[in-house]
Amino acid sequence: MIIGTAKIYLFANWVHSLKEKRMIVKSIVDKTKHKFNVSIAEIEDQDLHQSIVIGIACVSTNKRHADSQIQNVINFIEDNTDAMVQSIETDLY
């Protein structure tokens, strides 16, 4: 069993409240869950207005598939949000 994970750090400088941030995060999470078979959630900085940290995990039988799945999700998130991607951390276990 191979587990692929990613942590995506996003910055949304136009966000001025936690309510606005929650709407952005909910949109990203819902769209991603609908399109891909992965676990996804906001995992850090829940109390900071402009900082969004999203965690992603998938389970596969081989490394190539897990890595491909994680990269597809990352590309999808980058293409479907106005927030700036600050950094991305990926791992395979």
CA atoms within 13 A on the CB side of 46: 5
The full set of domains in the chain, from first to last, is: 2-92 (3.30.70.1120)
CA atoms within 13 A on the CB side of 76: 19
Helix 63-79 × helix 18-35 angle, to 10°: 140
Residue 17, phi then psi, degrees to nearest 5 = -150, 160
Query: pLDDT per position in the chain (93 positions), as tens?
Result: 999 999 999 999 999 999 999 999 999 999 999 999 999 999 999 999 999 999 999 999 999 999 999 999 999 999 999 999 999 999 999
SS3 sequence of 32-74: HHHHCCCEEEEEECCCCCCEEEEEEEEEECCHHHHHHHHHHHH
Can you give the pTM of this predicted structure? 0.91
